[in-house]
Amino acid sequence: MIDGLLQKWPVKPVIHTIQEVFPVLDSIKIKLQYLLPKQGLTRLAGWGAEKRAATLTHWVIKAFARFYSVDMKEAQNPDIKSYATFNEFFVRPLRDGARPVVSGLDMLCLPADGAVSQLGAITDGKLFQAKGHFYSLEALLAGNYQLAEQFKDGQFATIYLAPRDYHRVHMPCDGVLREMIYVPGDLFSVNPLTAANVPNLFARNERVISVFDTEFGPMVQILVGATIVGSIETVWAGCVTPPREGIIKRWTYPAAGEEGAIALEKGQEMGRFKLGSTVINLFAAGQVRFMPQLNNGTVTRMGEPFAEALRAPAAAPQEPTTTDFV
């Protein structure tokens, strides 16, 4: 009887393809970004990453390095047991010569290991985030319209640092620090999936904005926070966040040649993330041209060619004029 019913009303097996399942999983991940207590998770991660738990710490580091295929041969100290905390491991310095810095006065170097998320022109005061998503330059700069004006029609580059990457950030060119701005905000993840689905991601997340004067005009380097990024630090101020007080803070610094001026060289470390995130660079209009091999998804290594200066050609010497006297 059952066989007869099955023949009359055959049951079709339910088969879901990978293409059908993945969008559902991605949708769940994005919804969790809005629902989870990101601030609490970040504080918890920061607390755990600073704990000295001896064998447990070393086990966690070893598991992390294996899971993310971290190349410890590049580290100044490749011995996992030498790191007392997870944060010490995460911001490990590299051995000498691991990241040669491109030479040449007109060449800028990549500021970080990672992958290009987006780069290109700032058009109509907006930066491209991902397919279908743009965000405002002025919003990224915390409403500072005067600073935003300096980068009108300029260039931007966004580099995503994955968990396996080296997490110190370096200078793309020589520069003198003009100001630093801490902007409180959300702590969404900044991975490619989130960038493609959360509007205004980089303008809504916590970030530290550093403004430099360079021979290529003003340059901004922004360290963007994210979920479980325990802290953002700079070499001149130490830990900028935490604490997270919910207010914009601004520091100004002496100009070049003045006492106390902070001058950094191309390739020199300027900051670091304790757990990974994103770096955004802004350049004024007509100052630099990104290297043609850099595109969305290009793997980056600190010190490799980033951009080339667009210098105006030197004026041709004028021929001496003669005057005939009658």
Tell me which residues are annotated as active site. 113, 170, 277
Query: Rounded to 5, what percent of the chain is helix, strand, coil?
Result: 25, 30, 45
Are 202 and 224 in contact, with CB atoms under 8 Å apart?
A: yes
Whole-angstrom distance, CA of residue 167 vs CA of residue 194: 20
225 neighbors 205 (Cβ within 8 angstroms): yes
DSSP 186: B
Q: Which residues of 18-48 are buried (b: 16+ CB within 10 A; e: fewer)?
A: eeeeeeeeeeeebeebeeeebeeebeebbeb
Distance between start and end Cα atoms, the chain: 127
The torsion angle over the Cα atoms of residues 222, 26, 65 and 40, rounded to 10 degrees, is: 60
Number of H helices and E strands in the chain, helices first, is 9, 18
Q: Are the CB atoms for 233 and 270 separated by under 8 Å? A: no
CA dist., res. 145 & res. 273, Å (int) = 27
Do 227 and 69 meet the contact criterion of CB atoms below 8 Å apart? no
